[in-house]
Amino acid sequence: MDAHAYPVTRTDAEWRERLTPEQYYIMRQHGTERPGSCALLHETREGTFACAGCDTPLFGSTLKFESGTGWPSFNDPLPGSVETTIDRSHGMVREEVHCATCGSHLGHVFPDGPPPTGLRYCINGVALDFQPK
């Protein structure tokens, strides 16, 4: 993680205790889950998708859409819930999305989504907890 101070901070040991090994790899080491592997990809109930690392509400279900990519996709996050940075890994330049509260890696945002925003927040499902309404 970078030197940015987040409202929720934990030691590496605390993160490893709180998260599954897959969540730790994705959220703390900037990994990616296998496409189509998360049950939240098919979640259609009304509710909120929250950060699995700190429980911060991130995305409302009304802006979730099927992108065909194999990852949960959203038009827009809840206000102030995520931050972005430039990711130059893997020979690409992408915009990384991370939780504004704990800094955990969530996924990436791309400019190829549907209206109203034209954005596609492509999020690793294991980085999310679904809270039904």
Write the pLDDT tens digit of every residue in 95-132: 999 999 999 999 999 999 999 899 999 999 999 999 99
> So what's the pLDDT on residue 93?
87
User: Which CATH architecture is the domain 12-132 placed in?
Assistant: Beta Complex (2.170)
Q: What is the pLDDT of residues 64-104, one digit of tens each?
A: 999 999 999 999 999 999 999 998 887 888 999 999 999 99
From CA 25, how far away is CA 33, in angstroms rounded? 9
Q: Residue 43: how many CB atoms within 10 A of its CB?
A: 16
* Active-site annotation, residues: 122
Q: Is 90 in a helix, a strand, or coil?
A: helix
Is residue 31 predicted with pLDDT exceeding 90?
yes
CA dihedral 111, 113, 115, 116 (to 10 degrees): -60
Q: What is the pTM of this model?
A: 0.92
Q: How many CA atoms lie within 13 A of 82 on its CB side?
A: 29
CA-only gyration radius of the chain, Å = 14
Q: What is the pLDDT of residues 49-65, one digit of tens each?
A: 999 999 999 999 999 99
CA dihedral 125, 121, 65, 118 (to 10 degrees): 180
Cβ contacts of residue 87 below 8 Å, gap of 6+? Answer: 30, 93, 94, 95, 96, 108
Is residue 3 predicted with pLDDT exceeding 70?
no
Q: What is the pLDDT of residues 8-18, one digit of tens each?
A: 999 999 999 99
> So what's the pLDDT on residue 1?
44
Segments making up each domain of the chain, as ranges: 12-132
Q: What φ, ψ does residue 26 adopt, rounded to 5°?
A: -75, -50
